[in-house]
Structure 1
Amino acid sequence: MRQLYLNQTALSARATTVIRDAQNQSCYLLVGKWGLRADVLTVYLINGSLEAEVKQDSLGLLPRFRLLYRRQPVGRVSKTFGVIREVLFVRGLNWVIMGNLNNGRFRIFHGRDLIANITRVSPDGLTMSLEVDQTDHEALVVCLAAILDRWAKRQQKVPGLVKNRGWAPGFSSEIAPFTTQIKKSR
């Protein structure tokens, strides 16, 4: 299995991200942005040829993404209600992603065959290690790692908003009691 490294800070900054191998050689470029419908992340070989793309098809709580490999649609991935949130399905490729969004560890399977391992390796959690079984799967795994990273960051932000704003009863002690000021007449 080949090991690739992806820097998460460049991924969240909407900059071009260089994916390197274990010998620190540049292998892929990840270019694009998220946020709007029809936004695209594209994975190029270092020589400039297009390898894979992930296109955002919908917005909302359950966004859907379409995977393309060498300009051909190969699969779709989305979050679903009613399924354990640590299990995601890549329809079309028949891949199952199992892991935890909080600690950033994922395993991708096709049946019983292990396709890839995705883990955070640096002490600060900003570098992801992608261990992939075949070179044909590498660009698609990079796309899936970008999607998983986005979902993990969105999940980490939501509880903070509820707690800091005092929107949920009993979660915050930051709400000041309601007081009125009575004007004294002279």
Structure 2
Amino acid sequence: MIHVYMKEQYVARKERIIVKDEFGKDIYLVTGKWGNIGDGLYLYKLDGTLIAEVKQTKLALFPKFDLYLSGEKVCSISKYQGLKNPYFHVTRIHWLVTGDFVKGHYKITHLTKTVMTMEKAYLASGDLYALAIQREQDLPLCICIALILDHWAIRRTPKKIKKERLRLQTYS
């Protein structure tokens, strides 16, 4: 199993993202932006080699992205509304991405097998996502999907959290 870490909310700020391994060593660099059809993010090795890219192909409440490895389209990922929570379906490779968009817990499965889990981790240096990926060859695609999930995560500001706590206290 491979463990990697990336900062939360960097995609929303259009900043570069450094992906680190479990020992804190920089292994990938992500650049790019969202917002328009054709915009995308690019995953590079630290030597400058382009590994993977994500391109947005549909702007909507339920967007669609194409994922490329070494310049070749590998799959597409689309968001759908489930009964309880939204989910993503990854075509061609038949992955299903489910999770809690408020708490930041996600899981990618292929049939009954787990491909990746993604959890929020809170450190003094900032909020991170901890990715646990089963197979090394899935690493670039899993990082790209994690970037999409970070982009669509529900953000709660401290003010909203405080209001919710007050509301809960009044019913106690």
TM-score, length-scaled by structure 2: 0.83
Paired AA for residue 68 in structure 1: Y
Distance 1:99 1:58 in 2: 22
RMSD across aligned positions (CA): 2.0
Distance 2:18 2:58 in 1: 27
Distance 1:148 1:105 in 2: 10
Indicate the residue corresponding to 2:50 in structure 1. 50
Higher percent of residues as strand: 2
1:59 maps onto 2:59 in alignment: yes
Q: Which structure ranks higher in relative contact order (CA pairs < 8 Å, sequence separation ≥ 6)?
A: 2
Distance 2:42 2:114 in 1: 24
Please report how far the alpha carbon of residue 143 of structure 1 lies from its aligned counterpart in structure 2 after TM superposition. Answer: 0.8
Describe the SS at the equivalent of 2:143.
helix
Task: Show CA shifts across 1:12-70 (max 9, x none).
Answer: 22121110011111111111000111101011112211111110001121111011111
Q: Give the aligned length.
A: 157
Describe the SS at the equivalent of 1:116.
strand
Residues 65 and 83 of structure 1, relative CA distance in 2, 3 Å threshold = farther
Percent identity over paired residues: 28
Please report how far the alpha carbon of residue 93 of structure 1 lies from its aligned counterpart in structure 2 after TM superposition. Answer: 1.3
Paired AA for residue 121 in structure 1: A
1:140 maps onto 2:141 in alignment: yes
Please report how far the alpha carbon of residue 84 of structure 1 lies from its aligned counterpart in structure 2 after TM superposition. Answer: 4.8
Task: Show CA shifts across 1:112-158 (max 9, x none).
Answer: 221111110116872100111122111111111111111114x759x
Please report how far the alpha carbon of residue 11 of structure 1 lies from its aligned counterpart in structure 2 after TM superposition. Answer: 2.8
Indicate the residue corresponding to 1:91 in structure 2. 91
Indicate the residue corresponding to 1:5 in structure 2. 5
Residues 82 and 6 of structure 1, relative CA distance in 2, 3 Å threshold = closer
Distance 2:117 2:39 in 1: 26
Indicate the residue corresponding to 1:25 in structure 2. 25
Distance 2:88 2:45 in 1: 27
Describe the SS at the equivalent of 1:139.
helix
Describe the SS at the equivalent of 2:140.
helix
Indicate the residue corresponding to 2:80 in structure 1. 80
Distance 1:99 1:10 in 2: 20
Runs (5+) with no aligned partner, structure 1: 161-186
1:131 maps onto 2:132 in alignment: yes
Please report how far the alpha carbon of residue 87 of structure 1 lies from its aligned counterpart in structure 2 after TM superposition. Answer: 2.9
Distance 2:5 2:33 in 1: 19
Runs (5+) with no aligned partner, structure 2: 161-172
TM-score, length-scaled by structure 1: 0.77
Please report how far the alpha carbon of residue 110 of structure 1 lies from its aligned counterpart in structure 2 after TM superposition. Answer: 1.1
Paired AA for residue 153 in structure 2: A
